Structure 1
């Protein structure tokens, strides 16, 4: 067995063991990276750990640390009340507001994880307060950001169109953007109605009505579980105002958004900076916030990404790409390319995999039987739509910002959803854009 195949088998074994045993997948993946890197590829620790996602680590820790303090000092509650007034209290509209805001930010040039890092904590606060399914809210934020991914102004759009141009392939930035946006909009509709949207519409609950908690059960709440919204109300909670601590927190969040979206500063480092400033201003608020950071999630995500980074460094991804390029049937090879893009991107950098696989598709397009525009769009959708996987930055942010008692559930549900898209998105996009479309 070749070293590349060994590394793939080990990755499969990591997931199998992690599924059968209650062992953190990240810890297993780090051990696997050590074993495979040392005894199969004769690498040393610096090479093995070169793929450790330091940026992702700082994003996860910084953002969750910051919003833990924002929750403690009441800033998140104040933001929720402010946003409720913006949608005139229509709870059923809130998930779509989160979708639209995320899509707009990314389409205007924000990096997708930056938009999710800003919107997901606020969306999850709505989900908790008004008993919206947290999986629905998280997925609406993630797929909203994905809908804006390939805007001509967006980061992925600029990168992908640049790779197409450098590869001397015909391209259509508008078609790429619209096809991806429609795909994610359709997914958003499926998510909304499958995870409780109809219940939200039927109940017609206004967010100005304080939802009943477990001490005030209702027929609506018991019938719909975590998706439904109880209609019996308690006396309205006190309207929050901006005190000194909340004002500093809000200004810090505005600075975080401006730095990430306008000045292209690192989201994780900025979030950590704002959190440290808040800790200096109000040590009592920060006292317990660090313990609320989802360290188990951080280990899981960083461990898996480290192992996949090792696979990229040792040539396993290139090995798969070259094997695909040797397939004699162009349509089948195009489908395999889409599958590889989806599988690898579920764990690793979407930008990186698009940059690697689009040039590998050039020999397939040389036959003239496959349209370049359609294949690039199908590959782009396949590789980006799986960012809802809990092993990607966006999915990891959703898990990290979910309610503590539901993080394990959200993680498992995101894994099911993400890997379902790994199977469905390549087939659907390939069928419409490559096989039937002929673009």
Structure 2
């Protein structure tokens, strides 16, 4: 049974990597090659095509650029200059970034672009204010999802386009409202679990975080870095250009101008994260090419009881989206849900809301672009802890988000 083989392979990947403490991505690449060629009859070149080159460029470019920005003091300057906006109240910072992410994504930016731009700066704030990098990263990712289903957002455009193809219409305002509320609730839970009460008790930042005497002057390297970072922002959000290539171009320009900073910036590139994410995504891509994902979804859709079929489909959305493209899940699962939406007893709006939440809440997985960026931009000494935290949170969302959204929006 292909589905059983696929799941067993994934379990084996996790088991070997944890047992011997080796990079999970390397194990996944080998598993993709072995299973793909021997069991699923695929060519090695086709398997290699599943390696996410776009994600690699994004992680490479963003971590390289912000590594240089850290080396020349630009990140510290940005953090210092923004202290006045929150008046030193650390508890407000995660929510400020949540709202920024929601506004930017809700205005039409790609979620990957929003995360690539905000995560490095947000993690710098977290380090400065002694905030959990996990909390800060989740706040940005949850904010991105909160804005992701506005009537002009990319996620909504994809979902609405697929719904149109099966002649189903849902209220855009209601979809945006309830997905936004759900992400506020998710982020509030993260805030309470991951140190938020302590930040509230702390109040204003300690005196040793007063930055007026620490931030220094705006030197030429810092000014040029800011100009290039703004260029990445404008190009990615305003002109829909690839943020990874833009960030890499900016990093190369800075490297030519200031080679010394470039050497330190190279040390911040998250090569281990790139291998980790690339390997897992390649394995999932191999399964998609083999038709395993479609087969699993079709089996779920054929279940006779609509409520049970809906729950299982939401769980499938959560599992696969945690390791692969959320956009792709909407394209694949919405048509497969057509029988439930067009002729079943389920309310289309409620099911679509639940599907959007189930597929996007797991973007906090370290195998998604946002989660990978959080891990890659966390300071080295906290990186392993943050990865494990993102893994725990993301995997819990695979079960929690589908079940709760099913109860609230489908059953009730």
TM-score, normalisation: structure 2: 0.97
In the other structure, the counterpart of 1:169 is: 168
1:402 correspondence with 2:378: yes
| 8 A Cα contact 1:210 1:236, kept in partner | no
In the other structure, the counterpart of 2:221 is: 245
1:411 correspondence with 2:387: yes
| 8 A Cα contact 2:80 2:212, kept in partner | no
In the other structure, the counterpart of 2:242 is: 266
Note the C-alpha offset of 1:236: 6.1
- Once residues 90 and 150 of structure 1 are traced to their aligned partners in structure 2, the CA distance between those partners, rounded to angstroms, is 30
Unaligned runs of 5+ in 2: none
| 8 A Cα contact 1:165 1:171, kept in partner | no
**Matched residue of 1:289: which SS?**
helix
- Once residues 214 and 359 of structure 2 are traced to their aligned partners in structure 1, the CA distance between those partners, rounded to angstroms, is 46
In the other structure, the counterpart of 1:103 is: 102
In the other structure, the counterpart of 1:158 is: 157
| 8 A Cα contact 1:114 1:260, kept in partner | yes
Q: What RMSD over aligned residues (CA atoms) do the two structures have, in Å? A: 1.3
- Once residues 40 and 137 of structure 2 are traced to their aligned partners in structure 1, the CA distance between those partners, rounded to angstroms, is 39
In the other structure, the counterpart of 1:421 is: 397
- Once residues 99 and 341 of structure 2 are traced to their aligned partners in structure 1, the CA distance between those partners, rounded to angstroms, is 35
Number of residues of Structure 1 aligned to a counterpart in Structure 2: 412
Note the C-alpha offset of 1:367: 3.7
Moved over 6 A (4+): none
In the other structure, the counterpart of 2:177 is: 178
In the other structure, the counterpart of 1:225 is: none
| 8 A Cα contact 2:112 2:370, kept in partner | yes
In the other structure, the counterpart of 2:125 is: 126
- Once residues 163 and 218 of structure 2 are traced to their aligned partners in structure 1, the CA distance between those partners, rounded to angstroms, is 49
In the other structure, the counterpart of 1:224 is: none
- Once residues 197 and 37 of structure 1 are traced to their aligned partners in structure 2, the CA distance between those partners, rounded to angstroms, is 45
1:338 correspondence with 2:308: no
Note the C-alpha offset of 1:287: 1.5
Deviations 1:161-204 (A, max 9, x none): 11111111131111111111101101111111222222222221
| 8 A Cα contact 2:79 2:125, kept in partner | yes
1:191 correspondence with 2:190: yes
**Matched residue of 1:288: which SS?**
helix
**Matched residue of 2:208: which SS?**
coil
- Once residues 140 and 380 of structure 1 are traced to their aligned partners in structure 2, the CA distance between those partners, rounded to angstroms, is 18
**Matched residue of 1:210: which SS?**
helix
- Once residues 58 and 364 of structure 2 are traced to their aligned partners in structure 1, the CA distance between those partners, rounded to angstroms, is 16
**Matched residue of 2:76: which SS?**
helix
- Once residues 194 and 43 of structure 1 are traced to their aligned partners in structure 2, the CA distance between those partners, rounded to angstroms, is 44
Q: Report the structure, 1 or 2, having the larger helix content.
A: 2
- Once residues 366 and 137 of structure 1 are traced to their aligned partners in structure 2, the CA distance between those partners, rounded to angstroms, is 40
In the other structure, the counterpart of 2:363 is: 387
Note the C-alpha offset of 1:210: 2.4
Deviations 1:335-386 (A, max 9, x none): 0000000000000000001111011011123443111111111011100110
In the other structure, the counterpart of 2:8 is: 9
In the other structure, the counterpart of 1:143 is: 142
| 8 A Cα contact 1:4 1:315, kept in partner | no
In the other structure, the counterpart of 2:323 is: 347
In the other structure, the counterpart of 1:217 is: none
**Matched residue of 1:405: which SS?**
helix
